[in-house]
Structure 1
Amino acid sequence: MASSSSLLCCHCRSSFSAPKPSLSSPRRNWGSQRLGFKCSSSRFPQLESEKEQEKSSFGLKECAFSLALAIGLVTGIPHLDWDAHASPGPVLPDLAVLISGPPIKDPGALLRYALPIDNKAIREVQKPLEDITDSLKISGVKALDLVERNLRQSSRALSQGRTMILSGVAESKRANGQELLDKLEVGMEELQRIVEDRNRDAVAPKQKELLQYVGAVEEDMVDGFPYEVPEEYKDMPLLKGRATVDMKVKIKDNPNIQDCVFRIVLDGYNAPVTAGNFVDLVERHFYDGMEIQRADGFVVQTGDPEGPAEGFIDPSTEKIRTIPLEIMVTGDKAPVYGETLEELGRYKAQTRLPFNAFGTMAMARDEFEDNSASSQVFWLLKESELTPSNANILDGRYAVFGYVTENEDYLADLKVGDVIESIQVVSGLENLANPSYKIAG
């Protein structure tokens, strides 16, 4: 298994910038914005850069309203067809949605909250631990005082809710759940000593460790796959659970980086068809040796094979294998298929896997065909600030199926022509049902 130690170093981050027009593709003028795209697979809407948002002197409501207007003016719909169609703008999201609260941007937190569980006690342990991240943004010793308050809240929730937490763990995993909670309790005591010693630098690593215990307990609460995939898709490769992959990229023309390994967690609980399709292609080594085909400061994209086909040609049918658009909405028991949330009129619906995190992974598809995704994938190079779930134009239109959880910041250093040396499944392959390849050994 590749490790992140193969990443040498990179202290300079590339600044966030708008996509640059490609000479090989047509340009469309959206007000003063010009959009162009290198890869022949997909077009993406252009949002305001975070630098521009930070320069804004508006208040929160004014910023949100301006952003809503900007979304309607400058966005286009991604597609595989390169004809210059006029693309209608989306219905403006409710201002109440835009200002409903700060989005969760940490990929680990997004994955924890996306688990199909309903156990209030463990969430009450989790949230104060998550809040330590915000507490550490405060300068000086006050940050440690806030961390101590977060820790007390979490520790009290664990003490009072331990029985309820264990009752929510699947019976076959209860012993493991008990062990994890014991480790969590010890870890909290260690964090308390760190705070008392005023060792600020040691807080974040210990917080990460504690949240890993919490996440593991929450995963043990999932007992089997929670719903049936629709009949028309049940024989496709399906990821019934989660899997982790390591993507090793050979980076050219960058003296600071050589080989970079990106760890990606794929969420089959919320996107079984989409994640299953990807794992199946990974096991076929479809992406090994493939170049990065788009890297413009907005997204990094790959998956377009050589030749005229824009997706994976299944050797058993000699046709491109496509998968349906698959969106899980918070509160729903199963994903919706084949239609965007906008087409369904669900403008306020929140997606379970939102485009909030830098390195959100999703499928590219044709603009006018919801069920046209095949093998082309992209990673978003932004974080949601003023745009909570379903208010950033991408949510509900593209199928998110995972997040880069390690080395995600280095995605911004990738360039067109950098080579994916390999993608390997490091855990969770047993969750893949109906693989279309023969697993060796």
Structure 2
Amino acid sequence: MLLPGPAAAVLNSPNARIARSADAALRRAIPAFNGDVREVQTKLEDVAFKLRIPQRKPWQAMADDVGVAAAVMATPERVMYGVPKGKEGTAQQLNASISSGLRGVLGAIDAKDADKVSRRVADVLKDVASLEILQAPGLSFIVPDQFSSQPRLTGRATVELILERKGDESAFVDQKGGGPIRQARLGITLDGYSAPLTAGNMAANIQDGIYNGKTLNASYASVLAGAGALPGKLVPLEILPLGEFDPVYRSTLDVQSGELPVLPLSIYGAVAMAHASSDQAPIPDGYSAADEFFIYKFSKEQAGLSGLAFDEGIFGVCGYVTDGLELVPQLQSGDVIVSSRIVDGGEHLIRP
């Protein structure tokens, strides 16, 4: 399986408005509390976009973008705005790392080394995202009162799933370590900034251990788990469109007319709640199952002329597999979730 490289992490033709990697989608989902830091992000994403020009790359234009970003980072009073008390030290370390990284990007641009520019831009963007998360005060919108009784995630959380294949001690291949492993470990980043109810529902399920011992149902398009764990319980469909301030609830997006989600389904490893389950009664329109989730295995074969999945805008994505992605295609029906837990961000989970 080929995964998007760093240079493709921001945008990918033919639809240049939508993120094409988990890193880019999650970065865009962070509320833009500090406009100066967001400008640094935008300039770096511009570099990544220009880097994809196939022949005569605009090296000087890229250098100019980096210069603007470096000038912003050279004004710490602007960059540090919004950092909460007690987090100044972490912010200063990120500031120093970003500034150093920008110098490295500029050096790679001067050397006209596209691969090195791509890697260094990706690394700096990760630090920029960490700084933006540090500055984000929480949700930038109010969840509708009608859903006030449901769990919500008011920021980011990382969860972990440990999976095994019964009777097979070497079921999975660790491509990083180069050998067989008994367990598959998946790390999923849940995004409450864009999908507080959906991400909160999944985080609560993991906190309650409802997926422990559940078997997977895998196909060429997705990996599902959790059906029947919470019979009859539903969560509203929740999708934040690009350019909007709050999510749309109980309604799909009209992708054909240009409505696009901040968290696209059209990324390998997207995580969403299922709309229907063989173990339950039919689910009403505008809702999803509160128990069964799926990991989407997006491929070009599942895409239309726009480069998007045919189901884009229909499912409410709440996060992405961000660790162990190479293990997803190895998962099979019958594999078991041995354990699950919230690794970090649990303090953002609110359970009324």
Tell me which residue corresponds to 2:230.
312
Specify the SS of the correspondent of 1:323.
Answer: strand
Mapped partners of 1:349, 1:215: distance in 2: 25
The one of 373, 394, 410 aligned to 2:289: 373
Mapped partners of 1:99, 1:193: distance in 2: 30
Q: What's the Cα RMSD here?
A: 3.6
Amino acid at match of 2:274: A
Q: 1:149 to 1:289 in 2, by over 3 A?
A: farther
Mapped partners of 2:63, 2:70: distance in 1: 10
TM-score using structure 2 length: 0.77
The one of 214, 219, 244 aligned to 2:133: 219
Tell me which residue corresponds to 2:82.
169
Tell me which residue corresponds to 2:221.
298
For the pair shown, the structure with the greater C-alpha radius of gyration is 1
Amino acid at match of 1:373: A
Task: Measure how far apart 1:196 and its partner are.
Answer: 6.7
**Structure with greater proportional strand content:** 2
The one of 199, 205, 213 aligned to 1:275: 199
Task: Measure how far apart 1:113 and its partner are.
Answer: 0.7
1:356 aligns with 2:266: yes
Task: Measure how far apart 1:224 and its partner are.
Answer: 3.0
Amino acid at match of 1:348: G
Q: 1:146 to 1:263 in 2, by over 3 A?
A: farther
Q: 1:149 to 1:222 in 2, by over 3 A?
A: same
The answer (yes or no) to whether the contact 1:188–1:210 under 8 Å persists in 2 is yes
Mapped partners of 1:131, 1:222: distance in 2: 23
Task: Measure how far apart 1:311 and its partner are.
Answer: 4.1
1:289 aligns with 2:210: no
The one of 234, 239, 250 aligned to 2:148: 234
Mapped partners of 2:49, 2:14: distance in 1: 18
Mapped partners of 2:259, 2:53: distance in 1: 33
Alignment of 1:14-413 (within 5 A): 100-101=15-16, 103-117=18-32, 121-130=36-45, 150=62, 153-160=65-72, 163=75, 166=79, 169-170=82-83, 172=85, 176-192=90-106, 206-251=120-165, 252=168, 254=171, 256=173, 257-258=180-181, 259-293=183-217, 295-304=218-227, 310-313=228-231, 320-342=232-254, 347-366=257-276, 368-383=284-299, 392-413=309-330
* Identity within the alignment, %: 27
The answer (yes or no) to whether the contact 1:103–1:388 under 8 Å persists in 2 is no
Q: 1:154 to 1:388 in 2, by over 3 A?
A: farther
Q: Deviations over 1:43-80 (max 9, x none)?
A: xxxxxxxxxxxxxxxxxxxxxxxxxxxxxxxxxxxxxx
Mapped partners of 1:269, 1:168: distance in 2: 20
Mapped partners of 2:299, 2:74: distance in 1: 34
Amino acid at match of 2:82: V
Mapped partners of 1:151, 1:413: distance in 2: 41
TM-score using structure 1 length: 0.63
Mapped partners of 2:115, 2:246: distance in 1: 42
When the two structures are aligned, how many residues end up with a matched partner?
Answer: 323
Mapped partners of 1:150, 1:403: distance in 2: 30
Unaligned 5+ runs, structure 2: 4-12, 174-179, 277-282
Tell me which residue corresponds to 1:439.
none
Q: 1:180 to 1:148 in 2, by over 3 A?
A: farther
The answer (yes or no) to whether the contact 1:166–1:174 under 8 Å persists in 2 is no
Mapped partners of 1:160, 1:116: distance in 2: 19
